[in-house]
Every structure is written in C-alpha cells, then in structure tokens.
C-alpha cells in the first residue's frame, strides 16, 4: 500500500504544517513529505492543485485528500488512540485545549508569526498580544499534569498544537512564568521538533509579506 503524502509549507514558517507533521511522527505512521514553497507567485496555484481546502497541510491517503491540521490529527488518532489521553475526561479536555489553539490566540499568531530562523529578540507587544500570552500561560497552568513533562503527562496532540507557540515565545524573547518556561523547554527540546527545526534552518530565505501560515 502506498504511503500517505503530507503536503506542507516551508518548515521555517508553517506552524500548521508543523502540528500535523509532529502528530504523524509521534504516531509512527510512515508518510512521504511534499514541501510547497510559500510566498511565491506560484504558491496559491500549487496549493489549490493538491488541496481541496486550498491550504496546507493537506494529507493525501490513497485517492482522498483532506486538509486542516486538526482533521489530520484526528485521522491519525483513529489508528493510534494513544495520541489522546486515555481517561475520558482528560481526553475531552485535551481536545478542548487543542481546539482553543486551533481557533484562538489570533493576536499572538498575527503579531508574532512563527519564524524558526529568527534570532531571538523582543519586540513591542500590543495589549491584545499580551493578553493572549497571559491566557496561554493560564491555560497551561490549569491543565498541566504532574504525571509527566507534557500537558497531560504523556505526549498528546495538544502538545503538537502548542509547539509552535513555544517557538514563538522563544523567537520573540517573551518572558514567561517558570512553569510555562519549563514546558516550552520540553517542547523545544523534543527530538522530533529538533528534526523539523534542523530542516527549517536549511531552507532558503524567502521574504514573505505575511508569515501567519
């Protein structure tokens, strides 16, 4: 059987692609990778040609292509349920936490776009972004398990969704509470993330006008 193909954007910039990629790696699902360069005159056409949602990441499984990082994560969890916590209530909470990142914290995403090649440096933050940073830390504090270094003890899809957040906090030199910083360190020292980071740093250096993908 042919391997699934994960279509992604530049590893340096595409936080949504990072989430889906991490989930597939943690699931142990073998897949091929197809990188579509972002911020070029041909990007829109290239993405539309492979993704019915006209966005990346998009996962091609035999004759079906589906997009959206959360949908890809749930597809993986159908085969590997351990990607979510085992306990029913904790599993529902982990889904809520991932969904909060998926649809929220827009000021943080827009004002501090992911750029894994950025030399860490602080920038002026507006009130909305500061509020998002405080809300992220409060959320982590509310759900963080004492049974392991990840949000719910063992690694879960929720951790994939907050890895790009940790990368943003690092790139923009954002001061955090001690517990939040420790969690960020765990995310950014994860072997699979380090593999992604290494590849990101080998990419070319496009000059996008907007790096919120």
Residue among 26, 71, 22, 167 at smallest CA distance from 136: 167
To the nearest whole number, what is the mean pLDDT of the chain?
94
Quick one: 5-80 is in which CATH superfamily? Glutaredoxin (3.40.30.10)
CA angle 77, 83, 87 (to 5 degrees): 105
Strands, E assignment, the chain: 5-8, 32-35, 58-61, 64-67
Gyration radius of the chain over CA positions: 17
pLDDT tens per residue across span 22-79? 999 999 999 999 999 998 999 999 999 999 999 999 999 999 999 999 999 999 999 9
**DSSP class per residue in 133-151:** HHHHHHHHHHH--SSSSBT
**What three-state secondary structure class fits 34?**
strand
pLDDT 10s digits, 134-172: 999 999 999 999 889 999 999 999 999 999 999 999 999
> ∠ CA(103), CA(105), CA(108), 5° rounding?
135
pLDDT reported for residue 201: 95
Whether residue 91 is predicted with pLDDT greater than 90 in this model: the reply is yes
Q: For residue 47, give the H/E element and its range.
A: helix 43-50
This prediction's pTM: 0.94
CB 149 within 8 A of CB 186: yes
Distance of CA 71 to the CA centre of its chain: 13
DSSP code of 96?
H
Segment 200-212 mean pLDDT: 64
- Output the CATH code of domain 83-196: 1.20.1050.10
The residues spanned by each domain of the chain are 5-80, 83-196
Q: Locate 60 and state its tokens.
A: 């091609």
In degrees, rounded to 5, the angle at the alpha carbon of residue 200 between the alpha carbons of residues 194 and 203 is 150
CB 213 within 8 A of CB 36: no
Report the Cα 93 to chain-centroid distance in Å. Answer: 18
How would you list the strands of the sheet with 5-8, edge to edge? 32-35, 5-8, 58-61, 64-67
Q: In this structure, are residues 155 and 86 in contact, taking their beta carbons and an 8 Å threshold?
A: no
pLDDT at 209 exceeding the cut of 50: no
- CA–CA distance, 141 with 3 (Å, rounded to integer): 38
């Amino acid at each position: 059987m042919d391997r699934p193909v994960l279509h992604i954007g530049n590893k340096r910039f595409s936080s949504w692609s990072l989430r889906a990629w991490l989930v597939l790696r943690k699931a142990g699902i073998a897949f091929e990778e197809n990188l579509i360069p972002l911020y070029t005159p041909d990007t829109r056409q290239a993405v539309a040609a492979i993704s019915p949602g006209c966005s990346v990441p998009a996962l091609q499984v035999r004759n079906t292509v589906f997009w959206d990082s959360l949908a890809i994560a749930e597809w993986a969890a159908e085969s590997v349920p351990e990607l979510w916590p085992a306990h029913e209530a904790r599993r529902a909470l982990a889904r809520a936490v991932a969904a909060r990142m998926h649809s929220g914290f827009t000021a943080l995403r827009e004002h501090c776009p992911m750029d894994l090649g950025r030399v860490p440096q602080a920038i002026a933050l507006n009130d909305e972004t500061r509020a998002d940073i405080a809300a992220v830390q409060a959320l982590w504090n509310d759900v963080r398990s004492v049974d392991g270094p990840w949000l719910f003890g063992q690694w879960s899809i929720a951790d994939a969704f907050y890895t790009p957040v940790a990368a943003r906090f690092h790139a923009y030199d954002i001061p955090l509470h001690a517990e939040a910083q420790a969690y960020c360190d765990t995310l950014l020292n994860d072997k699979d993330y380090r593999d992604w980071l290494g590849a990101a740093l080998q990419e070319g250096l496009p000059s996008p006008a907007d790096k919120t993908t």
